[in-house]
Amino acid sequence: MDELTRQMHRREFLRLAGALGASAGIGAFLAACGASGSSSAPAASQAAPTTAASAGPAASAAATPGPTGTFNWLTWGDHWYQAEMDKIAADIGIKANITSFSDNIDAYTKIQQVGGQVDLVSGDALWVPHYYQSQLIDPFDINSLKVSSQLFSIARSFEIWTSPAGYLGYPNGWAPIQITYDPAHVTSGADSWQLLLDPKYKKRVVVEDQPVEIMAYMGKAAGVKDPYNMTDDEIAKAKALLIQLKPNILRLAPQATDTVAALKNGEAWIATINLGADTSVMDQGGPKLTTFTPKEGSIGWMDAEMQVHGGANENLLMPFLEVHEQAEYVAANFMLNRRPLFSEAAYKLLINQGQQELADHLLFNKPETVLTMTLKGPGTSTQKVIAAFNDVFGA
Amino acid sequence: MTAETLDGAASAPLAGVPNSLVRRLGRALPALPGLAVLLFLFLVPMAIMFVFSFWRTNNDFRLVPDWNLDNYARFFLEGTYLRTFLKTLVMGSLVTLATLLIGIPFAYFLVRYTNRWVQRAILLAVIVPFWTSYLVRVYAWQAILGEHGALNQFLMGIGLINQPSTLFNYDDPGVFVVLTYIYFPFAVLALYAALEKFDFTQLNAAQDLGARPDQAFRHILLPQIRAGIITACIFVFIPILGEFLTPTLVGGAQSSLIANLVVNYLRQAQFAEGGALAIIIAAFVTVVMIVFRKSLRVEDVVTSG
């Protein structure tokens, strides 16, 4: 930040001073209101740290006056929060017209149809190179963004996101799918996907209603190496485990909040969750849960913001990311949504804020974990996988 | 047509004006928005989906015109789809029957034994749930039917059970109860409209002539509210064939209906495969509608106004 300050002209300094004043106000607001994030933020009841509105992002925003305007962003609800967007708009004059989507396939098919009508799109892991191969996004030089120096170094060099033309997206967050259970009801020491299949837990398991992902981790349980591109034999193995799993499933939860609710009220004893959902259960007064990553390996996601090819507002994206990805905003986002992000500076900020225990519990300090996960991506076996899933869950 | 009517027609303001194209278009003008909605938001999408259902989805999630019948064959050759469709028909039939069994006495009581003001108040109460979203109403049932829900609390409170029952907990009975609740107002409104026009002195006359109450009900009342019953069946049975939200929210893993299987394809952009299943359901609905329509006699339609 000092370097940035040195580069500032008088006019920029005045602008920063104004931003700082606004920051203080927003910080107080965030602290007072607790949940100031978007309604779609899963853990909106969590207060954003006051650092969200401290000087950092505003200073960066003010450092280089740039283009102003509105761009179109297709993203998940947990990639932003309203107070942040309001402040960015006030500081640098860039607004985002945000459209939410539910799943990668949803966003991908939309971009296929509308292309450059969207400027920025979020996507997971192997979906990112798939966008690139389909010529739907433009790579960029990630190191040209000053804020990228705040990333864990591993996040700037993921092979799957590297192309000769540049980096395919700006890294955001990540999480493996884990298993959590209530030790009051479940034999402790579980470390395998097999826990889901134990007949002792009939109608006590909740999994999210995502057929392709369920089949993928059944594939992992069956020892399949590439569960998004399964052969017919591998699908048969995964299906056999799914048949064992079915009687144990209390419900296929439409969204993560339903899983949290079922664990909280004790209807479910075991669930597959995205990293961090267990803390949401405990925060809401539910039982203390034990969570583990299955020894057979897990599937997981890591997502990025991608620049859509032909977007009309391309010039707004880098200035926006330069501010949006500042540690203060990322740390606040972490506190709202409880999953690790790729910003090392945000991790250090969280330590300063006394949140190291939570951050470490949620593996914020171990981004290399993503290298051990089977990453989400578009598969060649999707259709057959759904057929198998329907065969099990149909009458 | 009587001579009087013909005279009236001859003296109508437009009488004598040539039956020109402009005039006919003028008459059709008010219907154009509705026709446009029907054409562009129903017929055209259905036609597109019908064409797509013979195509294939490639690994890039694009529809390719690789014409085939596999998507339809899947429904008939893989047992799960026929079984699930059959289960959907059974669920739809049971819910329709339940709404009729509850709705007919309810509407009968309302029309025969209450005054206008009470009728309006109760009908309002029937309609009030529509003011909230479908999703909210179904979610509310989770709080009622769940393991720690209001129903179990009540049953344990009165000492009927010692521990929470899982009878309605994320299983078919729960889906049945919630669907009955959701579609009951549709049935009641249709039945009320039919019963309101019924002359109840006919029941007294039938009993005066020696008919037992049940005979009067079957031979006098039911035939005359037939149109209302069929309308109620259409309003309840047909939407249930496309129900996927209620089974998802209160049905658990054991309670998929056919639309849930279709949705699994559509959510993964397998539009050709999901489209074929949807077309089969739509074709079945069309057949059901034709059967219902044929079972309505002309006098039923006239009677129902």
Q: How far apart are CA A161 and CA A168, in angstroms?
A: 5
A133: nearest CA in chain B? B60
Statement: residue A1 has pLDDT above 80: no
* A378 chain-B contacts, CB cut-off 8 A: 59-61
Q: Does A266 touch chain B (CB under 8 A)?
A: yes
pLDDT at A4: 35
Of the pLDDT bands very low, low, confident and very high (cuts 50, 70, 90), residue A331 is very high
pLDDT attached to residue B24: 82
**Rounded Cα gap, residues A109 and B63, in angstroms:** 11
Which residues in chain A (148-207) have CB-CB distances under 8 A to chain B?
203
A158-215 tens-digit pLDDT: 999 999 999 999 999 999 999 999 999 998 778 999 999 999 999 999 999 999 999 9
- Rounded-to-integer distance, Cα A212 and Cα A301, Å: 14
Give residue-wise pLDDT tens across range A336-355.
999 999 999 999 999 999 99
Taking the domains of chain B in order of start, what are their residue ranges? 78-302
CA distance B85 to B284: 11
Largest CA distance in chain B: 83
C-beta neighbour count of A51 within 10 angstroms: 24
pLDDT value of position B80: 94
Phi and psi angles of residue B224, each rounded to the nearest 5 degrees, phi first: -85, -15
Residue B85: closest CA among B96, B74, B99: B74
Say what the ipTM of the complex is. Answer: 0.84
**pLDDT (0 to 100) of residue B13:** 52
Q: Among B305, B213, B276, B206, which residue's Cα sits nearest to residue B50?
A: B276
Residue A46 reports pLDDT greater than 80:
no
Single out the residue of B233, B231, B239, B234 nearest to residue B193, CA to CA.
B231
Query: Is pLDDT of B26 > 80?
Result: yes
| CA distances in angstroms from B51 to B48, B68, B263, B278, B284, listed in the order given | 5, 11, 19, 12, 18
CB atoms within 10 A of CB B82: 15
3-state secondary structure of A295: coil
Give pLDDT, residue A102: 86
Is pLDDT above 60 for A24?
Answer: no
Q: Is residue B276 pLDDT above 70, yes or no?
A: yes
Identify which of A63, A43, A94, A99 has the alpha carbon closest to the alpha carbon of residue A335.
Answer: A43
Whether A394 has a pLDDT exceeding 50, the answer reads yes
pLDDT at A189: 77
Residues of A in contact with B62 (CB under 8 A): 112
**Is residue B222 predicted with pLDDT exceeding 70?**
yes
- Residues paired with residue B56 on neighbouring β-strands, in sequence order: B64
Average pLDDT over chain A reads 85
Residue A19 has pLDDT above 60, yes or no: no
A105 vs B61, B83, B264: nearest CB: B61
State what percent of residues in chain B have pLDDT above 90: 68
Q: How far is CA B84 from the centre of its chain?
A: 19
Q: What is the average pLDDT across A295-301?
A: 92
Q: Which residues of chain B lie closer than 8 angstroms to A390, CB-CB? A: 80-81, 261, 264-265
Q: A173 φ, ψ to 5°?
A: -140, 180
> What does A30-45 look like in DSSP terms, one character per residue?
HHHHS--S-TT-TTTT
Q: Per-residue pLDDT for A48 more than 60?
A: no
* SS3 category, A254: coil
Burial (CB < 10 A; 0-12, 13-18, 19+), residue A173, is: buried
Q: Tokens standing for B223?
A: 């035939």
CB contact B59 to A (< 8 Å):
yes
Q: How far is A2 from chain B (nearest CA, A)?
A: 47
**Residues 60 through 99 of chain A touching chain B, CB cutoff 8 Å:** none
DSSP A275: T
Residue A45 has pLDDT above 80, yes or no: no
- In order of A190, A219, A223, A244, B266, the CA distances from A193 in angstroms are 9, 10, 11, 12, 28
Q: Average pLDDT of B63-91?
A: 95
B293 touches chain A (CB under 8 A): no
pLDDT at residue A328, as a whole number: 96
B195 torsion bin: left (phi>0), alpha (psi -120 to 50), beta (else):
alpha
Largest alpha-carbon pair distance within chain A? Answer: 72
Q: Residue B102: pLDDT above 50? A: yes
pLDDT cut 70: percent of chain A above it = 84
Closest CA to A124 of A298, A300, A302, A273: A302
For residue B303, what pLDDT is reported?
Answer: 52
CB within 8 Å: A267 and B169: yes
Pull the structure tokens for residue A290: 């034990």
- Measured in whole angstroms, the distance separating CA A319 from the mean position of its chain's CA atoms is 22
Contact A266, B148 (CB under 8 A): yes
User: How much is the pLDDT for A215?
Assistant: 96
| Gyration radius from chain B CA atoms | 25
Min distance A163 CA to chain B CA atoms (Å): 20
For B41, which DSSP code?
I
Look at residue B162 in the predicted model and tell me its pLDDT.
Answer: 87
pLDDT of amino acid A63: 53
Query: How high is the mean pLDDT of chain B?
Result: 88
Of the partner residues A106, A251, A391, the one whose CB lies closest to the CB of residue B253:
A251
In the predicted model, is pLDDT for residue B298 greater than 70?
A: no
Kindly state the average pLDDT of the residues B167-195: 93
B66 contacts chain A (CB < 8 A): no
Fold of B78-302: MetI-like fold (1.10.3720)
**Residues A252, B252: C-beta atoms closer than 8 Å:** yes
Beta bridge partners of A120: A73, A307
Rounded Cα distance, A310 and A117, in Å: 8
Per-residue model confidence as pLDDT tens digits over A210-235 = 999 999 999 999 999 999 999 999 99
- How far apart are alpha carbons A219 and A241 in whole angstroms? 8
Structure tokens at A390: 């329907």
Average the pLDDT over B128-153 and give the result: 88
* Residue A64, pLDDT score: 56
Chain A with chain B: Cβ pairs closer than 8 A? 91
Query: From B250, which residue of chain A is nearest by alpha-carbon distance?
Result: A251
Lowest mean pLDDT among A219-233, B9-23, B242-256: B9-23
Contact A246 B253 (CB under 8 A): yes
Residue type, position A85, single letter: M
d(CA A299, CA B216): 67
pLDDT of B173 > 60? The answer is yes
Distance from CA of B162 to the nearest CA of A (A): 17
Predicted pLDDT at B20: 79
Distance (Å, rounded) from C-alpha A300 to C-alpha A161? 16
Sign of CA dihedral B97, B103, B106, B109: negative
For residue A187, what pLDDT is reported? 82
A349: CB partners within 8 A, 6+ apart: A51, A327, A328, A331
Strands A170-181 and A290-292: antiparallel
Place B292 in a pLDDT band, splitting at 50, 70 and 90.
Answer: confident
Please name the amino acid found at residue B89.
L
Please return the burial class of A229, using the count of CB atoms within 10 Å of its CB with bins 0-12, 13-18 and 19+. middle
